[in-house]
Chains A and B, each alone.
Chain A
Amino acid sequence: MTGLSRRQFLAAGGGLSVAAALSACASPIATSFSGGQPRTADVIFWHLFGGGDGENMATMLETFRESSGLSVESSLLSWGNPFYTKLALSTSSGRPPDVTVAHLSRVPLLAQAGLLEPVADQFAAAGITEDEFTPAAWEKATVDGTTYAVPLDTHPFVLYYNTALAEQAGLLDETGENLKPMRNSDDFVAALQTMKDSTGNEYAAVASITVDPSTCWRLFLMTYSGLAGPIVEDLGTRVTIDRAAMEESFAFLQGLTGERGLMPRTATATTSSTLFSNGEVGFLFDGVWQIPTYRDVEGLDFNVVPFPALLGPEPVAYADSHALVVPASPGRPAERTENAVRFVRGLLDQSSTWADGGHVPAWLPVQESEEFLALEPQSNYTEAAFDAVYDPPGWYTGAGSDFQTAMGSVVASVLTGATDPAGGVDALTSSLQTFSTARPPV
């Protein structure tokens, strides 16, 4: 047999495919060997938004592409525990995206580890300065005096109410739309009691308690923060619990589900959305990101407001924020950084599209615009963004962390009545001990 032998054929084929993989310098395969960042678009962007938020983000990206003429490659990474691991690994190995979304509660660790570019002069030149943002969010984006993230929104834990049921219970003021003001926990409990009595429902309010430690944690930290400061300091290595305040918070929350019978002790996310959608409870405690879920429920007329001051003198809103960060990459050319800054500014300018998902824009030019003020119910709880309390800074705290699961599980056992308030304080303290004594990664 003349011509190509099988061996020659295979060798040629193999050689060709290697050559093809390495030929174009910009190809991701080549850069993965050379250790550079792939250059497949002007801006490489990572985010974690599915569902309605994802659609809004897609609209914003499309608008930015058209107006700026830059190409944007956007990757949706699944939200959950490993998101920040992927971000950290890609950055520490020198191949990060140009811009990514991060929760502000996760910024302290990323900043301490040197994985983020500070929000510096280039951003200021593009008009991205402290005075244009909700102060609480900007402050949370700042670690040891340096700002590392550009807040996009604030998404607080808020109070939903069924307008028709509230009216029936006489809880609305003369506008017929807003709740009568509540000044403290007594007013709040009285309102829930009135709601329960006047509607004849079994419960007045619901929160997703079962298999939902994050919601439990948000509810607890909001209550506790009215009385005391952060539960840990020094990036999570020092426990600073106020036992009395914690016991008081637990006792108050347990009263709602326990002796007063105002809320069910067990309720999954499905239970709470069913009860609230069907008008079987008048109040729902949840995050603003659930607004799109209820907006489309037929026959449900509801409004969303910040929680009133409960145990402390001032109202407190547990919140987190989505922020835009530029991961550190020593080899990134100045031109790409410029594009990244333009991109960040481009997204901020479209904050009103983003607000559709229930989030309060952190960008004041939009937050104070007519367009946003006309948006209902989003514009009703803007103050919550100003009263925001975030997860305490720590290497293990933040959105989607094991810390929230561990803390929330303790809170859940108090809410179901399995643990008494004093026992809850002990359990939370000992759980916190495991985190605070572990060797920090930074």
Chain B
Amino acid sequence: MTATALPAPRSGVEATRPATAGRAPRSENRAGWLFATPFLALYLAFLIGPVVIGLVISLFNTTTVRAGVGSWVGLSNYADVLTNADFWASMWHSALFTLLTTPILVLLPLLFAVLVSRMSRNQWFFRLAFFAPYVVPSAAVCLIFAFMYTPETGLITNAFGWFGLTAPDFFGSTSGAWFAVVLLTVWWTFGFNFILYTAALQEISEEVYEAATLDGAGPWQQIRMITIPLLRPTIGLVLILQVLSSLKVFDQIYILLTGGPNYTTRPVIQYIFDTGFSAYRGGYAAAATMVYFVVLVVVSVAWFLVRRRSNSADA
């Protein structure tokens, strides 16, 4: 399903175009660039520029206590990063967070989206209710949850007591801290994936279901044989978006736990922040960022290759 596979239709609309079909006239081209200029300027200033600067200072002993890039150190920042146990520990924490949250955040919204789509009325209410938390800023979410996780007096801590359970130590123990941050993240970001699924579900034509009903397929069969296969591209999209956003985790863990207890939940972005900002080591932190960037690129490319293969297998 790629654009190149389509033969150029010789319809009436196309025929009225100038001879070089598919290519915009020069004036239109220039206008296009002009319209894109504000975006390109910002993109250069705030994305490409910083990446290039980051790449350069990762080769220098740049610090935040001195002006300029500092002394040339070659690749030694990279060598230091790659052999630093704290860096790899924080990489693992980001990966662990991804492993903990991705399955829940891919499957649970799918389940709820399918269920909601089968309701005959008041769907808007559920869409609103599920999506609303997503628009709350991370700082507000974290402060509210910190309040509820407070030992002795917090709502969630007490809720464990209602079922005769003892609440884990949400701030003092590693497992409790992970539980706290995963629960918060699921509640907070659930709605985004839910909306993606809901949009995809609306794309599926009613006629397919009608035909299935006529053929005698029950609701469960319809979900299994029609809804899920037709949602597959969306599930793939949600999966990769979720993996990438989980790997980028920072806000929740930083605000709720500051990476504690004893750095056992510190994600790699906080490690970069800590070394670059608190410990003044800009060059080293830039090198760590580049290593992390490469990992993200590898994940994205791997996903792209897997998808391309599965698409060509479908064809």
Binds A, one of B44-52, B107-115, B222-230, B275-283: B275-283
> A439 near B67 (CB under 8 angstroms)?
no
Binds A, one of B57-65, B186-194, B213-221, B237-245: B57-65
Q: Output the least CB separation between A98 and chain B (Å).
A: 19
> B172 near A438 (CB under 8 angstroms)?
no
With a cutoff of 8 Å between Cβ atoms, the chain A residues found around residue B204 in the complex are: none
B residues 244-286 touching A (CB-CB < 8 Å): 260-263, 274, 277-281, 284
User: Contacts A85-B280, A434-B86: A441 and B274 contacting too (C-beta < 8 A)?
Assistant: no
> A81 near B277 (CB under 8 angstroms)?
yes
User: How many A-B pairs with Cβ below 8 Å?
Assistant: 78
**CB-CB contacts of A71-115 with B at 8 A, as 1s and 0s?**
000000000011011001100111000000000000001100111
> B64 near A82 (CB under 8 angstroms)?
no
Across the interface, B278 reaches (CB within 8 A) one of A81, A210, A266, namely A81
- Any A CB within 8 A of the CB of B133: no
Q: Output the least CB separation between A430 and chain B (Å).
A: 9
Name which residue of chain A comes closest to B260, CB basis.
A211
With a cutoff of 8 Å between Cβ atoms, the chain B residues found around residue A115 in the complex are: 65
- Any A CB within 8 A of the CB of B122: no
Q: How far, in angstroms, from A266 to B85 measured CA to CA in the complex? A: 28
> A409 near B61 (CB under 8 angstroms)?
no
> A92 near B261 (CB under 8 angstroms)?
no
Across the interface, A438 reaches (CB within 8 A) one of B64, B73, B277, B284, namely B284
> A442 near B63 (CB under 8 angstroms)?
yes
Q: How far, in angstroms, from A133 to B309 measured CA to CA in the complex? A: 75
Q: How far, in angstroms, from A396 to B274 measured CA to CA in the complex? A: 11
A residues 368-415 touching B (CB-CB < 8 Å): 395-396, 401-402, 405-406, 409, 412-413
Q: Output the least CB separation between A363 and chain B (Å).
A: 29
> A89 near B64 (CB under 8 angstroms)?
yes
With a cutoff of 8 Å between Cβ atoms, the chain A residues found around residue B67 in the complex are: 92-94
Across the interface, A113 reaches (CB within 8 A) one of B66, B76, B77, B262, namely B66
Across the interface, A402 reaches (CB within 8 A) one of B65, B76, B171, B279, namely B279
- Any B CB within 8 A of the CB of A194: no
Name which residue of chain A comes closest to B262, CB basis.
A409
> B278 near A441 (CB under 8 angstroms)?
no
Interface size on B, residues (CB 8 A): 27
Interface residues on A, range: 20 to 34
With a cutoff of 8 Å between Cβ atoms, the chain A residues found around residue B65 in the complex are: 88, 92, 109-110, 113, 115, 441-442
- Any A CB within 8 A of the CB of B84: yes
> B172 near A266 (CB under 8 angstroms)?
yes
With a cutoff of 8 Å between Cβ atoms, the chain B residues found around residue A211 in the complex are: 171-172, 260-261
With a cutoff of 8 Å between Cβ atoms, the chain A residues found around residue B171 in the complex are: 211
- Any A CB within 8 A of the CB of B54: no
- Any B CB within 8 A of the CB of A268: yes
> B261 near A441 (CB under 8 angstroms)?
no
A residues 403-442 touching B (CB-CB < 8 Å): 405-406, 409, 412-413, 434, 438-439, 441-442
> B61 near A439 (CB under 8 angstroms)?
yes
With a cutoff of 8 Å between Cβ atoms, the chain B residues found around residue A405 in the complex are: 262-263
With a cutoff of 8 Å between Cβ atoms, the chain B residues found around residue A406 in the complex are: 263
Q: How far, in angstroms, from A424 to B182 measured CA to CA in the complex? A: 31
User: Contacts A211-B171, A441-B61: A395 and B66 contacting too (C-beta < 8 A)?
Assistant: no
Name which residue of chain B comes closest to A210, CB basis.
B172
Q: Output the least CB separation between B258 and chain A (Å).
A: 9
With a cutoff of 8 Å between Cβ atoms, the chain A residues found around residue B172 in the complex are: 210-211, 266, 268
With a cutoff of 8 Å between Cβ atoms, the chain B residues found around residue A88 in the complex are: 64-65, 280
Q: Output the least CB separation between A237 and chain B (Å).
A: 14
With a cutoff of 8 Å between Cβ atoms, the chain A residues found around residue B277 in the complex are: 81-82, 85
> A434 near B84 (CB under 8 angstroms)?
yes
> B262 near A438 (CB under 8 angstroms)?
no
Name which residue of chain A comes closest to B280, CB basis.
A441
14 A–B contacts, CB within 8 A, in A order: A88-B280, A113-B63, A113-B65, A113-B66, A210-B172, A211-B171, A266-B172, A268-B172, A270-B151, A402-B274, A434-B84, A439-B76, A439-B80, A441-B64
What is A's interface to B at a CB cutoff of 8 Å? 81-82, 84-85, 88-89, 92-94, 109-110, 113-115, 210-211, 213, 266, 268, 270, 395-396, 401-402, 405-406, 409, 412-413, 434, 438-439, 441-442
What is B's interface to A at a CB cutoff of 8 Å? 61, 63-67, 73, 76-77, 80, 84-86, 151, 171-172, 260-263, 274, 277-281, 284
